[in-house]
Amino acid sequence: MALRMTMGNEAAAMGALAAGCDFFAGYPITPATEILEEMGRRLPARGGVFLQMEDELAAMAAVIGAAWGGARAMTATSGPGFSLMQEHIGYAALTQTPCVVVDAQRGGPSTGLPTLPAQGDVMQARFGAHGDRPAIVLTASSVWEAYAATRQAFALAERHRTPVVVLLDAVIAHMREPVEIFDLPPPGRAPWPGSRTTKPPFGRHPFAPFGGGRDPIVVTGLSHGEDGLPTTGSGQAAERILKDSITAIAHDPELASGVEGFYLDDARWAVVAYGITARAAQAAVESLRAAGVPVGLLKLHVLWPLPEAALIHLADRVDGILVAELNLGQLVMPIRAAVAGRTPVEFVGRADGLLLAPEEIGARLRTGSGSVVTEQGGRRDA
C-alpha cells in the first residue's frame, strides 16, 4: 500500500476528481484556497475547466451554469464566501441542479478568524438560503474522510439533483495525514443518465443538461412545475417537487447510515460529534475507557439530513448524550428535537478559534448529569 502525506484540502480535490468532477470555479479564501489551487493544477491536465471568478457569487453561478452545460461541477470556499453563495445554493436547489460546494469552516461571524477552525456553518449549510429546500450536508474528520465525503457528494448530488455541501474545518482542511495514493479515473465526461425525450425535465427524473441534441428546456429560479415553466401565482407544483425531494433524501439509506459508533455497546453516556471535534471526542472516550468509565462516541458523517434514527436508537440506550461542536450550540438544537426527551442532551462548545480538547470533553462526559452551563450561557440543572 503506497501512502502519501496528504492535506485535507488536497484530498477533497482528489475526491472530486475521482468522482468525475470536470469543472471548478472558485475564489481564493483561507482555509479553502488549496482546493482551488489543486484543481487549478490538475483539472486542465485532465481536459477539465478551472475558473477563478471575481467573487463567490460568480463562482457558484458559474458552477450552476456549468452543470447545465453538462459538467460535474464544484466550488470550494469558507464562511464569508459561503454566505455569499447562499442565494445560488437556493437557486441550485429549486432548479434541481447537481453540484458540490466544499466549505472549509473558519471562525466567524464576518471575517472572523481566517486561519482558525470552527464548526459554525452547520445551520447555514442547511438553512442559509431563503425559502424551504432539500439539503444534503456531509462532513469529515480525517484527511481520508475529506476525500471520501467529497467523492460521495457528487454521487448524491446526481442521485438527488441537488447541491451537496461538504463541511470541512480549518484543521481538517490544512492537516496532513498518510493516505493511500488515490487512483483517478481516466479523464473524460461521463454522460448524464437523464433523457428528456420521455420524461419531464424536473421533478424525480434524472438530470439532463442543455445540448447534446436534446430538446431545449426552460430553467428558472421562479417556482415551476415538472415542465420547468414558471407557475406565477401558484407554488403548488414547486412545493410538490421540493417535498418529494426532501422525502427521497430523508429515506436514502446511504444518508441515514452516515454515522459511526465507537464503544457504544455498553456506554452509559455518549458524545455526539463530527469533524475535528470527533477526533477530540474519540481521544476523550479512549482515555476514559482506559480508566474504566463506560462512555462512547457517535461520530456523524452526515449532518443533514440529521441521522435521526441512529440518534433515537442511541438515546434509548444511554443515560445521557453530550453534543460537542465548535460553535455556541447549533446541531445540538435539532438533536434535542430528535431525541425528544428520551435522555438528557448536554452541550459543550466554543467559538473562540480554539479546539475542544479531549480533556474538556472528557471532563464533561465524566460529570454526566451534573449542573452544566447551557449553550446560551445560562446555568441550569440537568
Partner 1 sequence: MGAGPVRLTRIRLTGRGGQGIMLAGAILADAAMRDGRHVTETQEYGPEARLGATKAEVILSDAPIAFPEVGQADILVCLSRDGFLKYGGRIVPGGLRLVEETSVSEEALDRDLCRFPWRERARHLGLELTMNVMAIGTLQAVTGVVSEESLEAVIRERVKAAYVEANLTALREGERLGSGVRAPVVSPEGKRREGSRHGFNDLQ
Partner 2 sequence: MPKMGQSVDRFLRREMLPTVWCPGCGNGSIAQALAMALDRLGTEPKDVAVVGGIGCSGRTPFYMATNALHTTHGRALAFATGLKLAQPDLTVVVTSGDGDSLAIGGNHFIQAARRNLDITLLLYNNAIYGMTGGQAAPTTPVGAHTTTSPATGSVENAFDAVELAMAAGATFVARTTTFDMQEMPVFIERALRHHGFSLVEIITQCPTYYGRLNHIGEAPAMLLWERDMTDAQAGQHGGWNTGIFREESRPEYGDQLRRRQSGGGA
Structural contact between residues 8 and 33, judged by C-beta atoms closer than 8 angstroms = no
Residue 175 sits in the site that holds partner 1 (CB under 8 A): yes
Q: What is residue 262's three-state secondary structure?
A: strand
Tell me, what DSSP letter sits at residue 190?
P
Q: Whose Cβ is closer to partner 2: residue 180's or residue 266's? A: 180
Q: Whose Cβ is closer to partner 2: residue 26's or residue 31's? A: 26
Binding segment (CB under 8 A) for partner 1, from list 49-57, 58-66, 157-165, 357-365: 357-365
* Strand 99-107 to 113-117 pairing: antiparallel
Pick from 15, 20, 70, 349: which binds partner 2 (CB under 8 A)?
70
Residue ranges in 152-171 that form contacts with partner 1 under rule CB under 8 A: 171
Cα angle 146, 300, 288 (rounded to 5 degrees) comes to 110
Q: How many CB atoms lie within 10 A of CB 311?
A: 25
Residue 357 sits in the site that holds partner 1 (CB under 8 A): yes
> To the nearest whole angstrom, how small is the minimum distance from the Cβ of residue 280 to partner 1?
5
Pick from 68, 154, 202, 347: which binds partner 2 (CB under 8 A)?
68
Residue 279 sits in the site that holds partner 1 (CB under 8 A): yes
Say which entry of partner 2, partner 1, none residue 222 contacts (CB below 5 to 8 A, set by partner kind).
partner 2
Q: How many residues bind partner 2 (CB under 8 A)?
A: 51
Between CA 300 and CA 311 the distance in angstroms is 10
Tell me, what DSSP letter sits at residue 331?
T
Distance (Å) of CA 362 to CA 35, 107, 210, 288, 365 = 34, 23, 54, 7, 5
Q: Whose Cβ is closer to partner 2: residue 101's or residue 318's? A: 101
> To the nearest whole angstrom, how small is the minimum distance from the Cβ of residue 352 to partner 2?
34
Say which entry of partner 1, partner 2, none residue 176 contacts (CB below 5 to 8 A, set by partner kind).
partner 1
Helix residue ranges, H only, 120-207: 122-127, 143-160, 170-174
Pick from 64, 113, 242, 355: which binds partner 2 (CB under 8 A)?
64
Residue 355 sits in the site that holds partner 1 (CB under 8 A): yes
Q: Whose Cβ is closer to partner 1: residue 25's or residue 356's? A: 356
> To the nearest whole angstrom, how small is the minimum distance from the Cβ of residue 218 to partner 2?
4
Between CA 69 and CA 210 the distance in angstroms is 6
Between CA 94 and CA 132 the distance in angstroms is 9
Cα–chain center distance at 213: 34
Structural contact between residues 264 and 282, judged by C-beta atoms closer than 8 angstroms = no
> Which positions ≥6 away from 127 have C-beta within 8 Å?
135
Residues that bind partner 2 (CB under 8 A): 17, 23, 25, 42, 44-51, 53-55, 57-59, 61-71, 73, 87-88, 91, 184, 186-187, 209-211, 213-222, 229-230
Residues that bind partner 1 (CB under 8 A): 3, 5, 114-116, 171, 174-178, 276, 279-280, 282-283, 286, 289-290, 355, 357-359
